[in-house]
Structure 1
Amino acid sequence: MAPVHKVALIQLHLKPLSPAENFAKAESFIRNAAQEGCHLAVLPEYHLTSWVPDEPNFRESCADSATYLKRYQELAKELNICIVPGTIIELEGDSLHNIAYFISSSGEIAGRYQKKNLWHPERKHLVSSADQSHEAFDTPLGRVGLLICWDMAFPEAFRELISDGAQIICVPTFWSLRDVSDEGYALNPDGEALFLNSTVVSRAFENTCAIVFVNAGGPPEKGENTSFAGLSQVGVPHIGPLGRMGRSEGMSIVDLDMDVLKIAEDNYKVREDMKREGWHYAYTQIRDASKL
């Protein structure tokens, strides 16, 4: 029998330019997740600062990123829980990098990923990882990959991680229902929700993997009356979404049965086909066969 991993989806409402307050709230949720026996806790993109790059103090609010990363490492070790602390904005000279980490339950950093596919308004503020390859890494939960938000729109990113053996792909996100033009919103006010729900499940099916999607949420007092999309969930093949949330802040705990992924691969044979000599897509052939 494959293991069952208990995963906490922590859908935070983020206070702009308030890393200390946002960290304290995230820590409280993670401690509750650990008490519930969770093996992994995942936070949203930009969870320390929110995304307000035109605010005068935005860069200043990102200055202590290394300190907060170390605190998450200490928290993971203390609670014996793996943590994906959403994304953390890091300063490198004049550049801003949007970084996701996977912190193992030992407190060690198992994986690091810099956002590649930047949403159009981000491109004047952030530096992309450009042509760096997507690489999976080993964790206490198995082989894991990281993607961020708009990466969801690019199936090639998932395929490259799958070719490197990823079974779980964590996707911290900051996605609203109004991340489109007025014309796009008028076509369907729930269009972005449709995008997210469809894509999470599709990527799980077509890659025989689990997609741990965690988005920012709206303030609890507003309930579903918010433009924050929320909808954090774990997508798995055969079953679909697990633990799907609404739009407001909260936590959902999901039992991720890794046997489901084995059954899906036995049925669809996606990974088996990708290993074949006659596989049609060249980038999967550059991988070291020993990793597959």
Structure 2
Amino acid sequence: MAPVVKVAIIQLYPKPMQLESNFQKAANFIRSAAAQGAQLAVLPEYHLTNWLPKDPQFGELCDQWEIYVKKYQDLARECSISIVPGTIVERYFEEGEGKLLNAAYFIDPQGDIVGKYVKKNLWGPEREHLTSSGRDVHEVFDTPVGRVGLLTCWDLAFPEAFRELVYQGAKIIIIPSFWTLSDCSEAGLARNPMAEAIFLDSTLTARTFENTCAVIFTNAGGPPGRGYAGLSQVTVPFIGPLTRLGSCSEGMSVIDLDMAILEEAEETYKVRADLAKHDWHYDYRFPRNRTEEKL
């Protein structure tokens, strides 16, 4: 019989540049999740700092990344719970120049890091500040809750990322995010102010069906009128969201994720079986000399 995994999704408003305050709030949610029997707690992207990369203080706070990774390791050990602490931006210096990496970790209940992922597909405004993981292969990690893949925010828009993970056997894909309603263009917002909410709800559900996987998506929430999208959710095939938080509020939901539904979905759609065939017809790379007109 497939196991049932108890998952806590935690939707936070990251107060700008307040690392310790934001950590303590997250830690309180995680302790509450553990008390409710959760095996895994997942936080949003940029949950310690918010996203203000042009503020001179931002880089200085990112220098403290190791301190907070260790704090989450200690918290996982204290609560006997696996934690994906959203993302933590890390600053390194090479030849005197600072480099920022947006990193997600999977920490097990013993406090050990069993997986790390550096964001690959950077949203437009991030490209001026962050370094992508580029052409590094997406990895899948063996964790206490099964085979897990990590993605971050805008990675959701790229089905290729999911395919790489599912091909390696990922059953759960975890996506910390800082996705706002105002990420849409002026033209899109004029068509529909809630366009990004439709993007999130429809794409998250589609990804679960087309990959026979579960998706754990945690997004930032915040005060009304500031563009926060929220909509953190655990999504599975056949059903869609098992739980879904509101657009603005902070909060937590603890949900039972029955892994049997993934086996039933694969039996129905046979996506993984097709991917495993020796003559699978989408085994290709785009030609490097393609032109913009062709795209």
Name the TM-score, length of structure 2 as normaliser: 0.93
1:185 counterpart letter in structure 2? L
Corresponding residue of 2:147: 143
Q: Does 1:209 align with 2:213?
A: yes
Tell me how far apart the structure 1 counterparts of residues 179 and 157 of structure 2 sit (CA, whole Å).
12
Tell me how far apart the structure 1 counterparts of residues 45 and 284 of structure 2 sit (CA, whole Å).
28
1:209 counterpart letter in structure 2? C
Moved more, 201-210 or 177-186: 177-186
Tell me how far apart the structure 1 counterparts of residues 281 and 108 of structure 2 sit (CA, whole Å).
35
**Deviation at 1:281?**
2.2
SS in 2 for 1:253: strand
Tell me how far apart the structure 1 counterparts of residues 210 and 186 of structure 2 sit (CA, whole Å).
32
**Deviation at 1:108?**
0.7
Deviations 1:239-277 (A, max 9, x none): 111110102111111110000001001111111111111
Deviations 1:115-136 (A, max 9, x none): 0000000000000000000010
Percent identity over paired residues: 60
Please tell me whether the aligned partners of residues 184 and 195 of structure 2 are also in contact (alpha carbons under 8 angstroms).
no
Tell me how far apart the structure 2 counterparts of residues 250 and 146 of structure 1 sit (CA, whole Å).
22
Please tell me whether the aligned partners of residues 236 and 242 of structure 2 are also in contact (alpha carbons under 8 angstroms).
yes
Tell me how far apart the structure 1 counterparts of residues 256 and 45 of structure 2 sit (CA, whole Å).
23
**Deviation at 1:42?**
0.2
2:193 counterpart letter in structure 1? P
Q: Does 1:164 align with 2:178?
A: no
Deviations 1:163-198 (A, max 9, x none): 111000000000110102222111111100000000
Tell me how far apart the structure 2 counterparts of residues 213 and 283 of structure 1 sit (CA, whole Å).
29
Please tell me whether the aligned partners of residues 40 and 81 of structure 1 are also in contact (alpha carbons under 8 angstroms).
yes
Corresponding residue of 2:293: none
Q: How does 1:1-292 map to 2 (within 5 A)?
A: 1-93=1-93, 94-219=98-223, 222=224, 225-247=225-247, 248-282=249-283
Please tell me whether the aligned partners of residues 18 and 61 of structure 1 are also in contact (alpha carbons under 8 angstroms).
no
Tell me how far apart the structure 2 counterparts of residues 270 and 259 of structure 1 sit (CA, whole Å).
16
**Deviation at 1:105?**
1.1
1:59 counterpart letter in structure 2? G
RMSD over aligned Cα, in angstroms? 1.1
Tell me how far apart the structure 2 counterparts of residues 19 and 272 of structure 1 sit (CA, whole Å).
45
Deviations 1:16-36 (A, max 9, x none): 111111000000000000000
Name the TM-score, length of structure 1 as normaliser: 0.94
SS in 1 for 2:182: coil
**Deviation at 1:215?**
0.2
Tell me how far apart the structure 1 counterparts of residues 282 and 36 of structure 2 sit (CA, whole Å).
43
C-alpha distance 68-283 of structure 1, shift in aligned 2 (>3 A): farther
**Deviation at 1:283?**
6.1
Consecutive unaligned residues in structure 1, runs of 5 or more:
285-292
